[in-house]
Every structure is written in C-alpha cells, then in structure tokens.
A and B are shown apart, each in its own frame.
Chain A
Amino acid sequence: MSDALQLHVDAAVCQGHGRCYALAPGLFAADDVDGHAVLRVAGPVPEHLLDAARRAEAACPERAIRLLPAAPGAE
C-alpha cells in the first residue's frame, strides 16, 4: 500500500470546533476536555473512509487536520 494515507491532528492547533467528528464520526471522536478531536483510526485510513477523511481535512476551520502519505512500514 505505497499510496496509503494517514490522518494527523495537530493537537496544538485543534480548538474543538467539532466539524471533523460531525462529518466523519468513524474517524474522529471528541475528547472530554474541550471537544478536541481524537483520532479513532491509527495508521492508514481504510479505503471506504478516505472520502470522509478528505472532507474532515477540508472542513477544519483551524487547519489542524492533515491527510498525508502513511509512514513507511505503517500497515
């Protein structure tokens, strides 16, 4: 899976707007502190959730979410 993609949430940038877990509840959850985003999927994003991942990345007002090539060796 050389073209696998992985989600990253920059915790220092996330302010808990909650757009990601509203749009992609399979990928993101809210933490208990301020509704900050918590990733529910470690490693490569499964094929069927890629579109949701892209939407969450595009929707974040803080630009805290990045969908990037998965680290080598990640399954």
Chain B
Amino acid sequence: MSIDLEWLTRRFDPIDQARLQDPYPLYRELRERCPVAHSDAHMGGFWVLSRYEDVRRVALDAETFASGPGIAIPPLGNPLPMIPLEVDPPDHEPLRRLVSPAFAPARMRPVEASARSCARQLVDAFAARGECDLVTELAYRLPVLTIWQRPLLGEPLTEGLGDWVATFQSWVHDFKHSQGRSAEAGATILAYVERVLDARRAEPADDIPSTLLNAEVAGRPLTREEQLGYLFILFTAGVETTAAALGSIFLFLAREPEVRARLAAEPELLDPAIEELLRFLGPVQAERRTATRDVEVGGCPIRAGESVLLLWNSAGRDEAEFADGETFVPDRFPNRHLSFGLGPHRCVGSHLARLTLRAAIQEVLERLPDYRVRDGAELRFSVGTNRSLVSLPVVFTPE
C-alpha cells in the first residue's frame, strides 16, 4: 500500500479508521521523514511526535507539557477532568498517592490468584465449543473482573445491568471509540460511579471508592467532583487498555505459531515476552499534551498553548532506541518501552495490567494451544486514543 505522505505529514488524524488499521508503516515513515509533524485535522492544529526521544522528553516534563487541558485529540467528552491524569504538577502527586498504594505490587498477590481463576472460568465457558471470540469472550471480560474486586474498585453494583461485564465493556468502548456517542457514554459512566460512591458511603469497604470518600489532600477532603473524576478514570482507563493489548496479542500469537510454541515451552520467557508484546503492540496509540510555555522539540519551535500528540507506539518501534525495532524479540534486553507511559503520569495500574495479561495469555497457551483465526473473519481495529481489535473469532480443538 502506498503511503499518502501529504496526509501523514500535514493532516494526520489519530481517529482515521481506514488509514490507521496498520499504523506501523506510517509511524516509521513519520519517524524517518517528519518526526515533528504538524496536523490541521482537529482543534486548530497540533504537533505530532513519533520519535522515542521526543515522546520521552515530553512525557517526563509534565510542567512544560500539561495534561490538564485534556489528554485526547479530538477530546473524549468526559464530563469531569479525569484525576489524576488530567491534573498537572504540583497538585498531581498528592492526588495520585491517594490511590497508588491500592495498586502496589504487594497488594496484587491476591488479585493475581483471582485473575488466574477468572481467566480459567472464562475459558471454561467456550473451551468445549471449539470456537470463540477471544476479544469479546476473554480480552474484554477479564480486565473488568480483575479491577472490580477488593482492594481495587470493590464489589460492582450489578442490579438491573444484566450481563454487567458486557455492559461495562460497551460503556467504556463507546466512551473511548464512538466520537458521536462519547459524551453520552461518559454521562452513563458518571451516573454509575455516583451510585458506587453512594453505596460505599452507606457501607464502607476495603476498596478505592471508600478510600476516596475519606481521602484528604492539602488538609481538606476531596470534593465530590474530584471523587467522581477519579472513579471515572479508574472505570475506563485500565479496562479498555488491557483489553486492547490482549486483542492485539492474541491476534499476533495466532499469526506467529512459532512464538506461541516457544512461550508455551519456556514459561520463564513469559515475563520478558510480555514486556516485548507491550512494546511491540502497545494498546495506547496517541495522547495529547499542551505546551505551557514556548519550547523547542526536535528542533521545532512549539508555542505556549499549542497541543502535541505523543505517538506512544511509534516510540516503541524507534530503532534509535530499540535495535531491530520492527522485529519481535521475546527476550529483548534492554527493553525500556513506554507502553505504560513515563514520568509522573505513568500508568498507576501497570502491575495489575501485567498480571492480567499474564493470566489470560497463560490460560490461552495451555487451553487453546492450536487456536487459529477463523477463515474469513473480519479483523477490524477501532482506532483512537487506543487501538483495539473489535472481534477475534478463532477455532481450536475442543477440550
């Protein structure tokens, strides 16, 4: 496929569904030809950064490159600022510390056992059928189940929601991916997290909503809006990113049976391979920052108030940082990938994400060792802040 350079270097649009189905050749072209590009596709224009070093530098300098004005191009339509991602220094750190202990590695041990058991039950549901959709039946379900337990979001309120896991998935997907319905989905999620807060006020538990109700920053309690903005991002952020990572990973492993066989045969390879899968197929495509002062990036002057778009996954393939960056190397070392971000806004749930990925991948390697993509399946990615495979129909030898 020939690359439309005019579009790529002057009108790059992170939600162009047709052009970004396979973004990696485009990213390579950007890194080589126009590493600091400008696009007029949204919001009066924005800069597009594709090199590891430039993305890294911007992410590390949260004072010069603010996330307060919003982290997506075009804007997502969240009804409140997402906390702490859309809060800048110096207010950011105390807010983040309210919740980060719930995601610390020591607290993840019970969650890890439960993730494995949830993954097993999800696979139980289709293992005898010989076919399933690995995205809708596993990738999108497991991250919802792992975060909605103590000490994380705690017990979900499921009354009236039917298949609550599927309902949550669809709300999050609409919020992240449906430009037209994003604000509507955001309002639905906001109303739900308000109910969760009310339920925990009535009956406190060892979970994050209860923590937020009692939390103080700078000697004052959190406002209701801050509590809601915090729960809102916890509802949306980890679920869709982990699901998107799993969708891409399962598709990749289906197409690379040798990699799959090697991971199955060498369990000690799984942890480094998960880091490499994150580098190679990171779920978060693009995030916005806003310059707070006149500054230069990669030799280009950027003025105060202008937006920049960080192409995380382009950074992940940059050969200036990663030798043979376009090649998957299961035991790559070093592997300083940026797929959880970098600097003050690094993903607070990275330890949860890793254990969720590991549980799902191990279960699939063990239970569906010969799965392959069903003939004629339509493989479409939904592209925006995240790049998410919508559906992955597979067939395999039934248990």
| Contacting pair A61 B337 (CB below 8 A) | yes
Q: Distance (Å) between the CB of B342 and the closest chain A CB?
A: 6
- Structural contact, A34 and B101, CB atoms closer than 8 A: yes
Interface size of B by Cβ–Cβ distance < 8 Å? Answer: 26
Does A39 lie at the interface of the complex (its beta carbon under 8 Å from any beta carbon of B)?
no
Is A44 part of the contact surface with B, judged by Cβ < 8 Å? no
A30 vs B333: C-alpha distance in the bound complex, in angstroms? Answer: 21
Check: A40 CB closer than 8 A to any chain B CB. Answer: no
Is B343's beta carbon under 8 Å from chain A? yes
**What is the predominant secondary structure among interface residues of chain B facing chain A?**
helix
Give the secondary structure class of A's interface. Answer: loop
- Interface residue? B298 (CB, 8 A): no
Interface residues of B (CB under 8 A from A): 60, 96-97, 100-101, 103-107, 271, 275, 333-338, 340, 342-344, 346, 348, 350-351
A15 x B346 contact (CB < 8 A):
yes
Contact count A vs B, C-beta below 8 Å: 58
Given contacts A17-B340, A30-B106, 17 further A-B contacts (CB under 8 A): A16-B100, A16-B346, A18-B105, A18-B351, A21-B105, A22-B271, A30-B105, A32-B101, A33-B101, A34-B104, A35-B103, A35-B104, A35-B351, A55-B334, A59-B333, A61-B336, A62-B343
Closest partner residue, chain B, to A22 (CB atom): B271
Given contacts A16-B346, A17-B346, whether A30 and B336 have CB atoms under 8 Å apart is: no
Chain A neighbourhood of B60, CB < 8 A: 62
Does chain B have a CB within 8 A of A10?
A: no
A7-43, CB under 8 A of B: which get 1 and which 0? 0000000011111011000000011111100000000
Residue pair A33, B104 in contact (C-beta under 8 Å): yes
**Bound-complex Cα distance A35 to B99 (A):** 12
